[in-house]
Amino acid sequence: MFLGMDVGTGGTRAVLVNQQGYLVASASSEHAPFRTPHPGWAEQDPEDWWRAAQEAIHAALASVPGVHVEAVGLTGQMHGAVMLDKDGEVLRPSLIWCDQRTGPQCDWLHAQFGEGEAGRTRLIELTANPALPNFTLTKLLWVKEHEPEIFARIAHILCPKDYVRYRLTGAFAMDVQEASGTLLLDVAHRRWSKEVARVAGIPESWLPELFESPEICARISAEAAGLTALTAGTPVAAGAGDQGAGAVGMGILEPGSVSATIGTSGVVFAATAAPTRDPHGRLHTFCHAVPGRWHVMGVTQAAGLSLSWLRETLAPDQSYDALTADAAKIAAGSDGLLWTPYLLGERTPHLDSSATAAFVGITATTTRAHFTRAVLEGVAYSLKDTFTLFAELGIPVRDIRLGGGGARGPLWREIQAAVYGYPCERLTAEEGGAFGAALMAGVGAGGWPDLEAACAAAITVAETIHPDAAAVRRYAEGYAGYRRVYPALKGIRG
């Protein structure tokens, strides 16, 4: 068996996968809710991740008596800043991916590389990405400015899943896919950027050793073995951030293969043969979990969150199935009602942490079902913005695999196929990032020769959803209207 672990925002999940690619067991342990000491802040305690990891591993192993784990792979929420002192002790709660406090630090960093747009352009040349509040480096810069006594004690910096690996193995390690989201990586050359680290004032000694995702980078320590029931010496693969591991778990490995995944956030992910930079920084360009490949992705901050917000606000007594059943009775286009899903600002394509959400087109005949369908459509329009950028940059799209909550209901699948204008596939079992992490562990341990072979064994398509021609036309009109809403709202905000 191969063990995959996903250190998410809400909890940690552990799965066991056999060499035939079947998920044999899974278990989860919830995290404490993240703290928001001030609006826009988001922090979690790394020790809570370690507690949850131990619980999830114990539960998964206990469900398969006598199981022998050949290797472990990790994934998790990206961009979180975990700061450790020289003894490996946590210095402060981690600023996690959705923390939005670091706008001033983004502006400062761009300015260090040139005046105006030239600074942003130079940073994109060095790291393939502009500075954004989500990235790890800008969080470190905030601590440097506001908590200098903490910054002075830093000896190691890690991301969330890499902290759990440290507790499992004692190793300070990170994969290049995860490192791409720190803003400290030279993505094109898959190595730390000496220039960015120097300009930002980050000692290179703080940075962990880098590995490709399927590489074995550490082994379970005797101490961790006693706490988890894993065997001391079990190899641990480098793994990947949640989007990279999720893409492996969906078989998005070759150029032309694309996934659209709707969780709390929404991500459109495309594999590429070379690093493809957007000169305006509207897409993220990262190293892929597949050695020697890269990927681009666009992010909608509040995709699935939009639907959960709607339910909690307008229909707390209704199930999601009931809401979407009512929405299915409304014609495509929601009778002109539009939703912009900017509840947490927006990343792609606007790079605007102050963007706000809105319903546009409410009339006296608008019902709750209209609101629900408009949210489903608005999230799909937002993700289509990424496909628009793919076309602009010449990034190929052959077919799209749907994942997350957006793949589980037939209505949202049909909406996405018609909005994107491509056939969309639903997998027989979409198991998420932990499954991809287990496949990486299997490759690292020699269970499969490479990730392509692992995915061929483990992944099958259950259904292809072809876009309805009439809906495609209606959504083309709706998308044109949707694209006009953000500039109008920005004009109102000033």
User: What digits encode the pLDDT tens for the residues 307-345?
Assistant: 999 999 999 999 999 999 999 999 999 999 999 999 988
Q: What is the pLDDT of residues 357-378, one digit of tens each?
A: 999 999 999 999 999 999 999 9
The pLDDT-based confidence of 429 (bands split at 50, 70, 90) is confident
Whether 408 shows a pLDDT value over 90: the answer reads no
Domains and CATH numbers, the chain: 2-244 (3.30.420.40), 251-429+460-494 (3.30.420.40)
Q: What is the pLDDT of residues 71-110, one digit of tens each?
A: 999 999 999 999 999 999 999 999 999 898 999 999 999 9
**How many other C-beta atoms can be found within 10 angstroms of the C-beta atom of residue 359?**
18
Q: What is the pLDDT of residues 115-136, one digit of tens each?
A: 989 999 999 999 999 999 989 9
Tell me, what's the pLDDT at 406?
85
DSSP 131-144: --TTSHHHHHHHHH
Distance CA 122, CA 199 (A): 12
Catalytic residue among 162, 242, 278, 326: 242
Tell me, what's the pLDDT at 28?
97
Kindly state the tokens that stand for 470: 């009439």
Tell me, what's the pLDDT at 264?
85
DSSP 158-194: E-HHHHHHHHHHS--EEEHHHHGGGT-EETTTTEE-H
| Pairing of β 424-427 and β 397-404 | parallel
Average pLDDT in the chain: 96
Tell me, what's the pLDDT at 135?
96
Whether 494 shows a pLDDT value over 70: the answer reads no
Q: What is the pLDDT of residues 26-36, one digit of tens each?
A: 999 999 999 99
Give Cα 470 to chain centroid, integer Å.
33
Is position 242 annotated as part of the catalytic site?
Answer: yes
Peptide bond into 65 cis (omega under 30): no
Name beta bridge partners: 359: 339
